[in-house]
Amino acid sequence: MLPYPDIDPVLLQIGPLQVRWYGLMYVLGFAAAYLLVKYQLKQRSFPRLQEQFENLNIALIISLIIGGRLGYVLFYNLGYYLAHPWEIPATWTGGMSFHGAAIGLFVGGLWFCRKNKIPFFKAADIYMVTIPIGLGLGRLGNFINGELFGRPTDLPWGMVFPGGGPLPRHPSQLYEAFFEGLVLFVLLWSLRGRPYQKHRLWPHGSLVALFFISYGFLRFFIEYTREPDAHIGLIGPFSMGQILCSLMIIAGLLLWYQLVRAEQQK
């Protein structure tokens, strides 16, 4: 068994003002995405996106926050928020859903791109390859907070989390940080040039589809080590996260099929 490091979730406090590790991870994730998208734009000729780059970033941040919060409300705790609707905007109390954030980014980005005549899937591929960095950092924030821990285990790297009772548990946040963060980033970043090689199986938008499929696959299996949400439990043999990931994989496959089909019909 490994000792849980028990890092103070508050990085810095000045009077009533707190800087928390989890919030810092969000800031670092946004900063990394910003810099890597800008780096890619220097290598590509994409004048419409370059003109609207800052405005699109603002739209995506707003879409992520709204989508992540509404996803948590709808997918994970609808009954509570129907009884307490005034708490829905209270994101500072915790409760964000990645799947909701993904929907929010997709819808918000599509709306902005159509409004400003930016090729959506071409832009989405550029942004999508940077998202795993934020995912990995967010899971590190979950680990520092001692939340979203795993199921009990007798493996030698199990940890006793402060809110998880006396049993050693999988540090599933670290599994997710590694696979959904580092591994997925390396995969997508190494393939970022494929849509520009005019290959019929890699049209613009294929990296978006690949992200949906790969993230869904990785998260689905990691969920077997993660403690299900106490107020939901398992739905049959699966967690809510696994059900949403299954839908994400199907959406990714259908999207890729439609993109390839449209490319062949040109």
Six-digit token pair at 52? 């609207």
pLDDT at site 92 = 65
User: What secondary structure, in 3-state letters, does the chain show?
Assistant: CCCCCCCCCEEEEECCEEEEHHHHHHHHHHHHHHHHHHHHHHHCCCHHHHHHHHHHHHHHHHHHHHHHHHHHHHHHCHHHHHHCHHHCCCHHHCCCCHHHHHHHHHHHHHHHHHHCCCCHHHHHHHHHCCHHHHHHHHHHHHHHHCCCCECECCCCCCECCCCCCCCCECCHHHHHHHHHHHHHHHHHHHCCCHHHHCCCCCCCCHHHHHHHHHHHHHHHHHHHHECCCCCCCCECCECHHHHHHHHHHHHHHHHHHHHHHHHHCC
- Determine the Cα–Cα distance for residues 91 and 96; give it in Å rounded to an integer: 8
**Closest of 202, 221, 217, 224 to residue 248, by C-alpha:** 217
pLDDT at site 167 = 95
Please work out, in degrees rounded to the nearest 5, the angle formed at the alpha carbon of residue 89 by the alpha carbons of 86 and 93. Answer: 95
pLDDT at site 99 = 85
pLDDT at site 94 = 67
Query: Burial code of 141-160, b = ≥16 C-beta within 10 A, e = fewer?
Result: bbbbbbbbbbbebeeeebbe
**Spans in the chain with pLDDT lower than 50:** none
- Determine the Cα–Cα distance for residues 142 and 139; give it in Å rounded to an integer: 5
pLDDT at site 98 = 83
pLDDT at site 45 = 84
pLDDT at site 221 = 97
Place of tokens 């930016």: 118
Six-digit token pair at 228? 């299900």
pLDDT at site 183 = 98
Please work out, in degrees rounded to the nearest 5, the angle formed at the alpha carbon of residue 157 by the alpha carbons of 9 and 99. Answer: 55
- Determine the Cα–Cα distance for residues 131 and 244; give it in Å rounded to an integer: 18
pLDDT at site 111 = 96
